[in-house]
């Protein structure tokens, strides 16, 4: 007698009178392959959990963004935001496409240099630049985006000794009508700090050339109009510099912050239903610049440092079910082999999780925990999934931004990262950590070398 | 340990409890177990039947059945003999 396929027994009380007009999103459509490569094969070949990045999706997203801006504005330059994902292979896909590098530390700066990015095409942002860092950036003719007056004075001191001229911009913060207002970085537009910094820079024409103005108004921005306000305020500064100093500003850097389709925690609607499209952002920014009143020959280059929206969709995290449990209040919970230490964005997003194999139509609400022996290790507080069993595989969507930079070696090791290239071939672009990886950083004092238990 | 013999169960797994007016949904294995409970089969007999008819080992069948029993009790569909 051939046996029937088994699905663990399930019973659910049916409630009436509690209808939700938006329904409950049920993620039971299985995702069995990434870019044509079966999930089961990826896990068999590279282990579980494993990050999988699609080169095709990165290039597709990039092309869509470039099309949105270049069809609206004649001078556009993208710069890849290293902190979003600085795996060298990922960076080089963007660099192959023409992106410059946008870095916020000497560590990232050196990665960009080692990746082959010319110093002139590195934008050096961030509040922490030592005199040594600034010296390297000046020597390489990188674009130094000054964050505060202390940095400006340090740069002046350096340049007076170096007898070299630096290409600089200032970061400007401003009220664009959104909350919270990011005012911790750069110089404020409304209270005159930005203009004060510009005057100081322009008073050192022998040391510095003010080539650009930069802002970065927030992250996961749900309002395209805020970029219009930002573009107007930067244009206003650029125009005033032209009028007062007869100096043409070469570029306006509108930073990043475009939203990806992930769903923020607490959001009533799915992220994909509420975020502006890249065309919305492009229209808001470029129409403001074009209509501001720049002479055609003085039209500044538009630089964009968008990270999250360019890479989030391209990466998936594949994992496996370790255990199925029931909590004291009757809720189902499952324990996965990946936790918040490698999926940092689980603190911000309700990540979409799909099963990687077929199931019946029966589903249950559950809490998804990671493997860490820490109470904070919760990947999803409530999600409706099929009747998963130990060993089943799942796919977590849109994990490309910030996870592979903010991940921690905590309790467990960080896993492999695999790239699927344009031909569907797989490549390990970052090995998994081992005990040796961690231990090689440690040193044991002689008197602690032996123990006798 | 028994289930209310008046429970109405459809072939598709829809359950109606006439004592309380509550209704439930179950899957094929759940319906299989409830049918056996109505026949007053013991837990051990039910496990044997599950393993005989479905593609599952005894350990997992036992684990899942214990969880299922807990859910039946929480929904007051299954009672101990002295209740």
Q: Is the pLDDT of residue B1 over 70?
A: no
How many contacts, defined by CB atoms under 8 Å, are there between A and B?
68
Domain count along chain B: 1
Per the CB < 8 Å rule, is A4 touching B53?
yes
For residues A97 and A80, the answer to whether their CB atoms sit within 8 Å is: no
**Token duo for residue A302:** 């538009």
Question: d(Cα B14, Cα B2) in Å, to the nearest integer?
Answer: 19
Whether B76 shows a pLDDT value over 90: the answer reads no
Instruction: Return phi, psi of residue A136, to 5°.
Output: -60, -45
pLDDT for residue A18 is more than 70: no
The verdict on residue B83 lying in a domain is: no
Ordered by where they begin, the domains of chain A are: 33-52+313-434 (2.40.37.10), 56-312 (3.20.20.10)
Q: What's A367's DSSP letter?
A: E
What is the residue-wise DSSP string for A128-189? Answer: ---HHHHHHHHHTT-EEEE-SHHHHHHHHHHHHHHT--EEEEEEEE---S-SS---SSSEES
Domain that holds residue B64: 2-78
For residue A17, the model assigns a pLDDT of 64
Least Cα distance to A388 among A24, A28, A11 occurs for A28
- A9, A13, A14: residue with CB nearest B27: A9
**C-alpha to C-alpha distance for A62 and A440, rounded to whole angstroms:** 38
Q: Is the pLDDT of residue A336 over 60?
A: yes
B38 assigned to some structural domain: yes
Residue of A nearest to B66 (CA): A9
- Reading the block at residue A434, the tokens are 């081992």
Report whether B65 contacts B37 (CB < 8 A).
Answer: no
3-state SS, residue A109: helix
Query: Is B71 a member of any domain?
Result: yes
The mean pLDDT of A63-69, rounded to a whole number, is: 98
Nearest to A294 by CA among A342, A232, A245, A343: A232
The model's pTM: 0.92
pLDDT tens digits, residue range A233-258?
Answer: 999 999 999 999 999 999 999 999 99
CATH code of residue B31? 1.10.10
Buried b (16+ CB within 10 A) or exposed e, A26-50: ebbebbeebbebebeebbeebebbb
pLDDT at A27 over 70: no
Q: Does any domain span residue B8?
A: yes
Whether B10 is covered by a domain: the verdict is: yes
Give one word for A169, left, alpha or beta, with left for phi > 0 and alpha for psi -120 to 50. beta
Q: Could you tell me if residue B67 is inside a domain?
A: yes
Residues of B engaging A, defined by a Cβ cutoff of 8 Å: 15, 22-30, 32-33, 50, 52-56, 60, 64-65, 67-68, 70-72, 74-75, 77
ipTM of this predicted complex?
0.93
Q: What confidence tens digit (pLDDT) does each residue in A360-414 have?
A: 888 889 999 999 999 999 999 999 999 999 999 999 999 999 999 999 999 999 9
- Residue B7 is predicted with a pLDDT of 86
- pLDDT tens-place string over residues A100-125: 999 999 999 999 999 999 999 999 99
In this complex, the residue of B33, B56, B74 whose CB is nearest that of residue A6 is B56
CA distance A84 to A14: 44
| Residues 6 or more apart in contact with residue A431 via CB below 8 angstroms | A416
């Amino acid at each position: 007698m051939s046996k029937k396929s088994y699905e663990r027994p399930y019973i659910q009380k049916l409630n009436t009178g509690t209808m939700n007009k938006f329904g409950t999103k049920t993620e039971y459509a299985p995702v069995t392959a990434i870019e044509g490569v079966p999930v089961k094969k990826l896990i068999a070949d590279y282990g579980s959990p494993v990050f999988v990045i699609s080169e095709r999706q990165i290039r597709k997203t990039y092309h869509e963004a470039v099309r949105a801006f270049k069809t609206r504005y004649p001078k556009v330059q993208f710069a890849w935001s290293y902190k979003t994902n600085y795996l060298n292979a990922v960076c080089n896909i963007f660099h192959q496409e023409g992106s410059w590098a946008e870095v916020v530390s000497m560590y990232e700066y050196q990665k960009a240099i080692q990746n082959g990015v010319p110093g002139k095409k590195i934008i050096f942002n961030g509040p922490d630049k030592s005199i040594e860092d600034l010296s390297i950036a000046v020597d390489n003719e990188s674009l130094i985006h000054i964050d505060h007056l202390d940095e400006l004075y340090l740069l002046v001191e350096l340049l007076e000794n170096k007898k070299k001229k630096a290409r600089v911009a200032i970061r400007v913060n401003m009220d664009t009508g959104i909350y919270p207002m990011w005012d911790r970085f750069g110089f404020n537009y409304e209270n005159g700090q930005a203009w004060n910094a510009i005057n100081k820079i322009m008073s050192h024409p022998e040391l510095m050339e003010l080539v650009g103005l930069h802002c970065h108004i927030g992250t996961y921005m749900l309002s395209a109009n805020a970029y219009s306000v930002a573009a107007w305020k930067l244009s206003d500064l650029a125009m005033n510099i032209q009028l007062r100093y007869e100096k043409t500003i070469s570029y306006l850097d509108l930073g990043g912050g475009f939203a990806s389709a992930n769903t923020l925690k607490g959001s009533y609607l799915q992220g994909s239903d509420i975020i502006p499209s890249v065309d919305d952002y492009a229209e808001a920014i470029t129409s403001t610049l074009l209509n501001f009143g720049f002479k055609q020959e003085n039209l500044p280059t538009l630089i964009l440092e968008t990270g999250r929206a360019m890479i989030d969709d391209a990466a998936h995290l594949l994992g496996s079910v370790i255990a199925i449990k029931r909590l004291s209040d009757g809720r189902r919970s499952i324990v996965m082999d990946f936790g918040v230490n490698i999926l940092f964005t689980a603190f911000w997003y309700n990540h979409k999780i799909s099963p990687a194999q077929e199931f019946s139509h029966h589903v249950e609400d559950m809490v998804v925990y990671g493997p860490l022996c820490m109470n904070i290790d919760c990947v999803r507080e409530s999600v409706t999934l099929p009747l998963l069993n130990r060993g089943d595989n799942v796919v977590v969507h849109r994990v490309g931004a910030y996870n592979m930079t903010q991940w921690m070696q905590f309790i467990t090791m960080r896993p492999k990262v695999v790239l699927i290239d344009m031909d569907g071939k797989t490549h390990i672009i970052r090995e998994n950590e081992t005990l040796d990886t961690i231990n090689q950083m440690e040193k044991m004092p002689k008197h602690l070398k032996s123990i006798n238990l | 340990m028994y289930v209310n013999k008046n429970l109405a169960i459809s072939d598709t797994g829809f359950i109606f409890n006439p004592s309380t007016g509550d209704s439930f949904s179950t899957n094929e294995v759940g319906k299989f177990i409830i049918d056996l409970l109505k026949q007053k089969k013991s837990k051990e007999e039910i496990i044997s039947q599950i393993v005989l008819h479905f593609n599952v080992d005894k350990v997992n069948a036992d684990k899942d059945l214990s969880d299922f029993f807990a859910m039946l009790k929480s929904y007051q569909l299954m009672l101990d003999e002295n209740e």
